[in-house]
Structure 1
Amino acid sequence: MQNRTVPFPIPPRAPAGTTIIAFGDVHGHLSLMEEILAEAQARARAKPDRRHIVISLGDLVDRGPDSRGVVARLMGDLPGCELHVLRGNHETLLMSFLAGDPDADVWLKWGGMATVGSYGVDIEGADPHSKRDVERIRAEFRARMLPDHFDFMRTRPLSLTFGDYFFVHAGVRPDVPLARQKEYDLIWIRDEFLPSGQLFEKKIVHGHTSVEEPDFRTNRINLDTGACYGGKLTAAIFEDDVAEVFASIPAPPGTHFP
């Protein structure tokens, strides 16, 4: 079905009197995220007359050193700012793994070992290709997963809209109205979305697919700069008709798992 809705204006605008700061995939890098949150709060203190919104684009967990700490921090307050957290595909895989879905066992090979380790599961010598080790890890992770952490991840929205911007983890399917997008595409899509030059109803702000530098295009902005691969954690700021990099914090060497 063709998308017959009116695309966003160029340049797109944030809501009047509102500052939005959005950052890409954290993947357990608590210290990097803390720097961005601190800078966002400093800006809020400097401009108390404005509404300040901070958005995590999802993928809080896996590969980095402190997934549990990232979740706990984002469950807390950010004085002076409204804090919004989206759900990514890695949070979704975590939940499926805990539910016993065998198709989700791949999660351990995609960085989940770092996450279970951050919750106190013994991963020394464990083999994510071994069925016996996978079942042992699943049982221990169920016992150690904090119910409020699980509920927080489970209840995160898949998208948010402010002004002329649509914030989402992975992207959207072309030729489908934003209101009719499916969960799978919102947290997983790549091939059909990234090459598209289509102007959607809103400008899409996303992560999920790592790039060396933040990618600002006419129809979308990609803020995943590969913190989980030793790259950077990047945040963009949106004020009036301006969208630009707010902060880009490099990951310390050796602070991620494959």
Structure 2
Amino acid sequence: MIAPFWHRLLFRRGEKRHSPMPRIDTLGVPAQTPLYAIGDIHGQIDQLRQAIAWIVGRAAAQTEQNLKPKVVFLGDYVDRGEDSRAVLNCLIGLEAEFPSIQWIFLAGNHEAAMLGFLDNPLEHIAWLGFGGAETLLNYGVRPPVGVGGRAIQKTRDQLLQALPDTHLRFLQQLRHSHQCGDYLFVHAGLRPGVPLERQAPEDMLWIRDEFMNTPHWYGKCVVHGHTIETAPALHPWRIGIDSGAYCGGPLSCLVLTGNHREVIGFS
């Protein structure tokens, strides 16, 4: 069959065609690496503790079988909820308490906004309006009254004083992505049409509509949070597991074992 003119024109210009979308049941992680991915926590310490207890229980049996379980957190640990401080304390202690499990911590846009406020509060004052005020209170710092520069700077200084060094280091060392098998883990998503090696950290933290509304095969299935969905979205090209834990939904955990996947909710 002769290709249509537009197809031949693209081929001559050297533009690549998109890879075909795979079936989701063909995607997997290495057999020796059962993987758990946890969506946006937002200060929900009780749900987080439930999820960790369940994972640790399963992982104990898996390590006895010489498997190497891995847990990937997709970011947004702080803000909006009531106990961001306890969430960070819990996450920071996991590696020492359960060394047989590999713990991977990714950055979310809320951690990025909090660090931005600590670095330059006047340029990142917006953080206070989408969850930062709750985090300030959780660390014993009253949100500023008004938006005057002196009040904002004072609030930043008080937060720096109240924030344990371990918390600050944890936030500063968060990663933007992680790959395992046929899956790529990020907080928010990727920009369609951009190769993986050229994806911008800013998009991995903040992108929403361009990613969510454009089915696209990136060479990996993208596992993400950031955008609340009423039920976990299981597609060949993306799996979304932000189920709105801070506003009454469950905390979702994606479980990947070989070519099998399931989502467990903790409420």
TM-score with structure 1 setting the length: 0.89
Give the counterpart letter for 1:27 in structure 2.
Answer: H
User: Kindly, what percent of the aligned residue pairs are identical?
Assistant: 36
Shift of 1:134: 3.1
Is 1:214–2:226 an aligned residue pair?
A: no
Shift of 1:102: 2.2
Separation (CA, whole Å) in 1 of partners of 2:79 and 2:185: 21
Equivalent position of 1:256 in the other structure: none
Could you tell me which runs of 5 or more consecutive residues in structure 1 were left unpaired when the two chains were aligned: 251-258
Equivalent position of 1:166 in the other structure: 184
Shift of 1:7: 6.7
Separation (CA, whole Å) in 1 of partners of 2:127 and 2:248: 20
Give the counterpart letter for 1:16 in structure 2.
Answer: A
Could you tell me which runs of 5 or more consecutive residues in structure 2 were left unpaired when the two chains were aligned: 1-13
- For the 8 Å contact 1:160–1:166, the answer to whether it is kept is yes
TM-score with structure 2 setting the length: 0.86
Equivalent position of 2:54 in the other structure: 39
Separation (CA, whole Å) in 1 of partners of 2:16 and 2:75: 26
Shift of 1:218: 2.0
Is 1:179–2:197 an aligned residue pair?
A: yes
Is 1:248–2:242 an aligned residue pair?
A: no
Separation (CA, whole Å) in 1 of partners of 2:245 and 2:146: 23
User: Which has the larger share of helix?
Assistant: 2
Shift of 1:128: 6.1
Shift of 1:122: 3.2
Is 1:87–2:107 an aligned residue pair?
A: yes
Equivalent position of 1:22 in the other structure: 37
Equivalent position of 2:211 in the other structure: 193
Separation (CA, whole Å) in 2 of partners of 1:102 and 1:236: 38
Separation (CA, whole Å) in 1 of partners of 2:142 and 2:213: 42
- For the 8 Å contact 1:8–1:200, the answer to whether it is kept is no
- TM superposition outliers: structure 1 runs of 4+ over 6 Å: 1-5
Q: Deviations over 1:49-92 (max 9, x none)?
A: 22100111000100111111111211112523111110011000
Q: 1:70 aligns with which of 75, 87, 105?
A: 87
Separation (CA, whole Å) in 2 of partners of 1:145 and 1:230: 27
Separation (CA, whole Å) in 2 of partners of 1:204 and 1:100: 32
| SS, match of residue 160 in structure 2 | helix
Separation (CA, whole Å) in 1 of partners of 2:151 and 2:254: 41
CA RMSD of superposed structures (Å): 2.0
- For the 8 Å contact 1:18–1:53, the answer to whether it is kept is yes
Comparing 179-188 with 223-232, greater Cα deviation is found at: 223-232
Q: 2:168 aligns with which of 150, 153, 168?
A: 150
- For the 8 Å contact 1:168–1:187, the answer to whether it is kept is yes
Separation (CA, whole Å) in 2 of partners of 1:117 and 1:2: 53
Shift of 1:162: 0.3
Higher radius of gyration, 1 or 2: 2
Comparing 3-12 with 94-103, greater Cα deviation is found at: 3-12
Q: 1:108 aligns with which of 116, 125, 128?
A: 128
Give the counterpart letter for 1:37 in structure 2.
Answer: I
Separation (CA, whole Å) in 1 of partners of 2:216 and 2:175: 24
Q: Deviations over 1:82-108 (max 9, x none)?
A: 111100110000011011242311111
Shift of 1:46: 2.1
Size of the alignment, in residue pairs? 247
Separation (CA, whole Å) in 2 of partners of 1:116 and 1:172: 30
- For the 8 Å contact 1:165–1:204, the answer to whether it is kept is yes
- For the 8 Å contact 2:38–2:251, the answer to whether it is kept is yes
